[in-house]
Amino acid sequence: MVLDQDDPELKSGGPGPQGTMSGPGAQTSIARRRQWLTPYAYLSPFLVFLAVFGIFPILYSVYLSLTSTAGNGAGAGLLSNYTTGDRDFRFLSSSENIGEYVLIWLPTLIVLVFVAALLLDQRPGRFATAMRVLFYVPGALAGSASVLVWLFMLDPSVSPFKIVFQILGLSNVNQVITPPHIATIVAIIAIFTGSGAWIVIVYGALSGIPREMLEAAALDGCGQVRLAWNIKLPQIRRYAVLIVVLSFATGTQVFVEPTILYSAGAGFVSPTWSINELSYFYAFTYGRFGVSAALSVELFLVSLLIAVVVVLKTGFLSAGQSR
Amino acid sequence: MSTKRGWHGVDKRPARQGPNLTGLGLANARLRSGGFWLARVAMLWALALFFGLPLLWLVLAPSKTNGQLGTTAPLSFGSFGNYETAFHNLFNAQGGIFVTWLENSFIYVAASVAIALVLSICAGYALAMFQFPGRRAVLIATLIAMITPSAALVLPVFLEMSLFHLLNTAFAVILPSGFFPFGAYLSYVYFSTSLPREIVEGARVDGAREFAIFRSIALPLAKPLLGLVGFFAFVGQWNNFFLVSVMISSPGRYNLQVGMSTLLSGAFFANPSVPIAAGILRPELALGGMLLAAPVVVVFLFVQRYLIRGLLAGYGIG
């Protein structure tokens, strides 16, 4: 066995760290302590990063949001950074933008993911596998690449979807990319890049449905559509909940796409289109870190609440799994 | 459950042909579902066009000149010479800054992926192989951190980095990206399912040191895991826009994502024939987008089976 060469007795000339060998009591207790420490030794680098880049930034933001008066003038109250952020006229419109985006994006995502996964599962094979890969590949395009591609796709003069714009009566990019369309455009980009991973997951869950159940239903004369609707869908419904909840958390955080649209020269896209952008704007344009921190803390709390509920109240991720 | 999927082996799922595709059932099903079959294929092709056409267009666009893009059919091919021209223009724009961004991307990615790998593998190993006080708390914290969108932490980490005077340095990008809770969770799931505890305990009884067990039993088993965590960390970091755009203010230190977004400026809405940066027109932008996506697409196509299995394992399927 490979391990033999690492036999502690050969190398250190003492009893092993397990204390399994008969040795003086003092050495055994040192060994026990060492064994007790082992898991923490493996964990510590990760825990340090969790503390420094997960927990501390949030605590520091809370602290800043409650105490920082940079750019506020003196004598502000404890929650003044929060009221400043929340009463900002842009906060309302940013919230509306995000709400509109999520309302367009989430239902479309759910329907598309489930329809695609059910259609693929209906006849697994080479065609289904190829399709699944095709749906997942756009996930490689993020940020600048996805916005860039869709700026072209939404320009009727170069787009391969020209016919869609003709049907809609839009002939010029300035008619397509307009302020009322931004939420839809951001939703299209998110669906283009983000659906594939969910399709893979739901498809994977579908293949886990016991065959016997499907065979029994088919023997009873159940057609494909009813099989999908009455047998398969109830088995995977919980994934819809997971997708909605997790996507909602991500949706409230939207920053990249509207920011790149703005910097791509779509000057009519507000630089404070989303709440994260507004928070960024406060830090960078006004230097008011307190307000920026307050907005980030509020956004973070939404995500944290969702994450805690998903982890503790649903059975998706097995944290308590004891073996 | 009849569908067990191994981490290492091929897909062990019995090929499910659809229960009614044999014998009489097949004929009946076909008769009943001819319309359904058509609807299914039509819907799948519609989806394929939505996901596929933009990719196809992106690959073809740099084969045309800026003028041809607007006048020729969207999916037509121009010439290979135009790729060369676009390549030349893109790499020479602004004194070759595209190359600088490419280098920065490689440095940020390599450093943060290395950190993420070490942290994740060690943490996942500890969580899977030991029972210790606080284990459940760490697991729950890891899950919560994994589910919280990374964007939620960017501005708080920015405020932190400003406190430590690390803004506009590589550290501000690399260190926060090294924290990758999904990797730790994936490692935990991996070791829990593919490394039997009895082997580890047996080695311990035989007197092997803990680190020797980790190095000679766990690590060799974890090669697919290294690839998996490495890939997901790589994609996240290669495509990192928000963090870099907030932390870095000097264009010379941008990564490719943020750099490309500055090239987009004005190219679409002002006047598409007036380049913002010398030589950067729509074919150059398309080529830039293609190069930005290429590394991820290539890696993905090569290892997609592993990735899909890892993705599923992350959500407790399979």
What tens digit of pLDDT does each residue of B55-93 get?
999 999 999 998 888 888 889 898 999 999 999 999 988
**Chain A hits for B78, Cβ within 8 Å:** none
Min distance B245 CA to chain A CA atoms (Å): 9
pLDDT 10s digits, B191-212: 988 888 888 888 888 888 888 8
Q: Considering only alpha carbons, which residue of chain B is nearest residue A190?
A: B51
What residue numbers bound the domain in which A139 lies?
A: 96-287
CA distance B161 to B246: 11
Q: Does A153 fall in a domain? A: yes
The ipTM of this complex is: 0.84
Contacts of A172 in chain B (CB under 8 A): none
Contact B156 A300 (CB under 8 A): yes
For A179-208, the pLDDT digits (tens) are 889 999 999 999 999 999 899 889 888 888
- Total domains in the fold of chain A: 1
CB pair distance less than 8 Å for A3 and B206? yes
Listed range (B94-103, B220-229, B241-250, B308-317) with the worst mean pLDDT: B308-317
Q: Rounded mean pLDDT of B21-41? A: 60
The answer to whether residue A79 sits within a structural domain is no
Instruction: Say if A126 falls within a structural domain.
Output: yes
pLDDT of residue A217: 85
CB contacts < 8 A (A, B): 383
Helices (H) and strands (E) in chain A, counts: 16, 0
Q: What is the pLDDT of residue A231?
A: 85
Q: Is residue A46 domain-resident? A: no
Separation of alpha carbons A196 and A134, rounded Å: 8
Q: Is residue A32 part of a domain?
A: no
Q: What is the pTM of this model?
A: 0.83
Question: How much of chain B, in percent, has pLDDT values that exceed 70?
Answer: 84
- Reduced to 3 states, what is the DSSP secondary structure of residue B230? helix
Q: Point out the residue among B158, B292, B296 whose CB comes nearest to the CB of A144.
A: B292
Residue A248 inside a domain? The answer is yes
Contact call for A211 and B19, based on CB within 8 A: yes
Q: Chain A partners of B61 at a C-beta cutoff of 8 Å?
A: 152, 158
Nearest to A207 among B13, B245, B296 (CB): B13
Q: What mean pLDDT is reported for chain A?
A: 83
Most confidently modeled range among A46-50, A268-272, B2-6, B89-93 = A46-50
Q: How far is CA B168 from CA A57, B165, B242, B252, B253, in A?
A: 18, 9, 14, 10, 8
pLDDT of A73 reads 53
Interface test with B, best of A5, A28, A35, A46 (most B CBs within 10 A): A46
- pLDDT surpasses 60 at B26: no
Helices marked H in B148-266: 151-163, 170-178, 181-194, 197-205, 210-213, 219-221, 223-238, 242-247, 256-264
- Quick check: A60 and B159 CB within 8 A? yes
Summary mean pLDDT of chain B: 84
Q: How far apart are CA B272 and CA B113, in angstroms?
A: 38
| Distance (Å) from the alpha carbon of A75 to chain B's nearest alpha carbon | 23
**Within a domain: residue A14?**
no
Q: Which domains does chain B have, with CATH numbers?
A: 23-86 (no CATH), 96-264 (1.10.3720.10)
Q: What is the pLDDT of residue A3?
A: 35
In a domain, A249, yes or no: yes
Neighboring chain B residues of A197 at a CB cutoff of 8 Å? 311
Task: Give whole-number Cα distances, B50 to A135, A138, A191, A198, A258, in Å.
Answer: 9, 10, 10, 16, 21
Separation of alpha carbons A167 and A107, rounded Å: 24
At B311, is the pLDDT very low, low, confident or very high (cuts 50, 70, 90)?
confident
What is the domain-level CATH number for residue A150?
1.10.3720.10
